[in-house]
Amino acid sequence: MQNAKILRLNKAGTPIEWISREEAATLVVKDQVVWALGEDAFVIRGGINRLGRQSILSLPSILASDGRVKLNDFVPPLVNSYLFRRDQFLCMYCGGEFRADNLSRDHILPVSRKGTDNWTNVVTACKRCNHRKANRTPEEAGMELLAVPFVPNRYEFFYLANKNILADQMEFLKSQFSQNGNWFLSIDRKTLT
């Protein structure tokens, strides 16, 4: 996969960032990789030596690098592209599936009524439903939410932040999804229509 990235973990196995092949190669060459998972998914070819042999470096899809492990609370940034992916590009009111340019961020308790702009107070809504709901709560507008909004954990966020995830990377991340995250990934869209 041309645009695929390598999932970098800390030595404790917690995702840190998505990195390029070149960044991963630098970690390997500097001997900063502590362990690796997954298939060797990437190959970087180097120059040809005087014997006519080309250097080849195979890179795994998931690697853990050395360094200090920082444990802190993780709150992912609230960005519409992540929100729309969390909600599977579905309007959480009518259940319709839409392209991103036809979706909006809806505040369950409107900001004008002291609602906050955070993961647990926002859902994806089509522009029609968001306009219909207006400055009201779903109950006041007579609109039922199809799912309870949740804050993605670190592993769910790494899923949301990358559109080109390889199968073994997805397996690794999905093993740590919360019940809410697993629910959103397994929505049967046929039951919503």
User: What's the CATH number where 82 sits?
Assistant: 1.10.30.50
Q: Is residue 121 part of a domain?
A: yes
Once rounded to an integer, what is the mean pLDDT over residues 138-154?
95
Which residue from 164, 160, 125 is spatially nearest to 144, judged by alpha carbons? 125
Q: Is residue 162 part of a domain?
A: no
The C-alpha atoms of residue 106 and residue 104 are separated, in whole angstroms, by 6
Q: Is residue 159 part of a domain?
A: no
Q: How confident is the model at residue 41 (pLDDT cuts 50, 70, 90)?
A: confident
Q: Is residue 21 part of a domain?
A: yes
Q: Is residue 166 part of a domain?
A: no
Answer with the residue of higher pLDDT: 91 or 189: 91
Q: How confident is the model at residue 136 (pLDDT cuts 50, 70, 90)?
A: very high
Residues 81, 142, single domain; the answer is yes
Q: How confident is the model at residue 38 (pLDDT cuts 50, 70, 90)?
A: confident
Residues 141, 100, single domain; the answer is yes
Q: How confident is the model at residue 180 (pLDDT cuts 50, 70, 90)?
A: low
* Confidence at residue 192, expressed as pLDDT on a 0 to 100 scale: 47
Residues 32, 84, single domain; the answer is no
Answer with the residue of higher pLDDT: 167 or 180: 167
- Domain containing residue 19: 6-65
Residues 59, 113, single domain; the answer is no
Once rounded to an integer, what is the mean pLDDT over residues 157-186?
83
Q: Is residue 179 part of a domain?
A: no
Q: What is the number of structural domains in the chain?
A: 2
Q: Is residue 92 part of a domain?
A: yes
Q: Is the pTM of this model over 0.85?
A: no
Residues 56, 108, single domain; the answer is no
* Confidence at residue 181, expressed as pLDDT on a 0 to 100 scale: 56
Range with lowest mean pLDDT among 41-50, 69-78, 126-135: 69-78
